[in-house]
Amino acid sequence: MSIPHADRLTRLTVLLAEWQAVWRPLPFQSRRPPWAGHLPGLEQALLALSDEACERLQAAPCGTSPLAAWLPVAELGELVDLPDLAGGDAGLPASWSQHVGGRKWQQIEAFVPRVALAPGQSLVEWCAGKGHLARTLARWHGTEVTALEWQPALCDEGQALADRQGVAVHLEARDVLAPDVARWLTPDTHVAALHACGDLHVRLLELAAASGCGVTLAPCCYQRTAAEHYRPLSRLGRDLAGRQGLELSRDDLALAVRETVTAPRHVRRSRERAGAWRLGFDLLQRELRGRDDYLPVPSLAYGRLPETFAGFCRWAAERKGLTLPASVDWGAYERGGRRRQAEVRRLELVRHLFRRPLEVWLALDRLQLLEEAGFTVALGTFCERELTPRNLLLRASLPARACGTRTPPS
């Protein structure tokens, strides 16, 4: 039997609060995890994991896990087990995918049949980019779609695409955070948002709660917020978090989206190398400064990583005002960085375990905001995590409106 939303939120709040000293510390910042003394044997068990076991646990942290001897693996697994939100995976005509990237198209294919319109409702896409979703929704529902997007260049490109394909989409160059956007949201509107980030989807939910429009939302990037500290959106979320002492910073929110299974292999390899070099530099800087403290080094845009480890250390040292000695055994520090990376990856598994629970907690707080405004809300997944790890879907409407998904075009 499925767990009622409020119970799920309550139990997740308790667990996230109880274990925050375990999931919050970043293992690359300290040589020993701060929790090591409280959970005897856990650090050693993690460090002894094979590469295969580590990868398996990264991919499925709540599955069968040796961490269960210390951490509430089974309960977390139960609490993040959400249904696939039905809608039918009938498949859309391949011709509709023109000009849409392969993975994005698959996400749209999974998302669109799950958008349930009430009779007479018009459709709006929120933060539409070039309106790929809007074009598909317009074709699927046989109705005009208004697509709100902030960047005029994307609007122009998207409008040209829609016009060329003869699809009834109107792109509006709008900042969804501006006050006048409220006029697009009425009880006769259904708003679809695929991977709208932090404040952008929060704005949608707040306007929906006020206006009564229907919503189908796949939230993303919870940490993209103006506020440094998270204020739960729902009364229940605020109440539970206050009582349990669960305070989330913007950095904490980033944990919810730390899974990057969709990055291409060359990007992952480059990230891995950058990570090992950072840890190698960390070993070096601790010796140079004579202080066993982590020293944050700014991030580098993809493709800007120096070609060698020595080059990276020179760059990082300059940024941090450190003078490097004339001779450094670069090979030793680089190898040390790789060893440290293998350790950090294993110690990170405790954070992985709480990643999805945090994401589900944030989604439930969003759900609760709408329930408190009288909406009927469903939370589930719209695709496999291999397609996108941000696969949670919130579907909300006021009970007076009977919604229906439709069957695919023949």
Ligand X SMILES: C[S@@+](CC[C@H](N)C(=O)[O-])C[C@H]1O[C@@H](n2cnc3c(N)ncnc32)[C@H](O)[C@@H]1O
For residue 152, the minimal CB distance to ligand X (Å) is 10
Instruction: Please give the Cα distance from 88 to 138 (Å, whole number).
Output: 18
Shorter beta-carbon distance to ligand X: residue 67 or 128: 128
Helix 5-18 with 349-372: angle, nearest 10 deg: 140
For residue 221, the minimal CB distance to ligand X (Å) is 7
For residue 96, the minimal CB distance to ligand X (Å) is 15
For residue 181, the minimal CB distance to ligand X (Å) is 8
Among 84, 89, 144, 175, binds ligand X (CB under 6 A): 175
Shorter beta-carbon distance to ligand X: residue 191 or 313: 191
Shorter beta-carbon distance to ligand X: residue 136 or 234: 136
Shorter beta-carbon distance to ligand X: residue 133 or 276: 133
For residue 87, the minimal CB distance to ligand X (Å) is 17
- Segment contacting ligand X by CB under 6 A, of 10-18, 63-71, 146-154, 330-338: 146-154
- Segment contacting ligand X by CB under 6 A, of 65-73, 150-158, 283-291, 343-351: 150-158
Residue 128 binding ligand X, by CB under 6 A: yes
- Segment contacting ligand X by CB under 6 A, of 51-59, 189-197, 252-260, 274-282: 189-197
Shorter beta-carbon distance to ligand X: residue 254 or 305: 254
AA letter at 377 = V
For residue 390, the minimal CB distance to ligand X (Å) is 10
Residue 191 binding ligand X, by CB under 6 A: no
Shorter beta-carbon distance to ligand X: residue 148 or 276: 148
Residue 197 binding ligand X, by CB under 6 A: yes
For residue 213, the minimal CB distance to ligand X (Å) is 17
Give Rg (Cα) of the chain: 23
Spell out, one character per residue from 92 to 121, where the chain touches ligand X: x when CB under 6 A holds, - when not. ------------x-----------------
Backbone dihedral region of 126: left (phi > 0), alpha (psi from -120 to 50 degrees) or beta?
A: beta
Backbone angles phi, psi at 249, to 5 degrees: -90, 175
Among 167, 194, 358, 364, binds ligand X (CB under 6 A): 194
For residue 193, the minimal CB distance to ligand X (Å) is 7
Shorter beta-carbon distance to ligand X: residue 77 or 219: 219
Q: In the structure encoding, which two tokens stand for residue 326, read together?
A: 């004339």
Among 123, 176, 350, 396, binds ligand X (CB under 6 A): 176
Do residues 375 and 396 touch, judged by C-beta distance below 8 A?
A: yes
Q: In the structure encoding, which two tokens stand for residue 353, read together?
A: 């375990």
Q: How many CB atoms lie within 10 A of CB 76?
A: 24
Residue 182 binding ligand X, by CB under 6 A: no
For residue 318, the minimal CB distance to ligand X (Å) is 33
Among 154, 300, 322, 387, binds ligand X (CB under 6 A): 154
Which residue is it, tokens 């709100």? 148
For residue 175, the minimal CB distance to ligand X (Å) is 4
Residue 185 binding ligand X, by CB under 6 A: no
**Residues in touch with ligand X (CB under 6 A):** 104, 127-129, 133, 148-151, 154, 174-177, 194-195, 197, 200
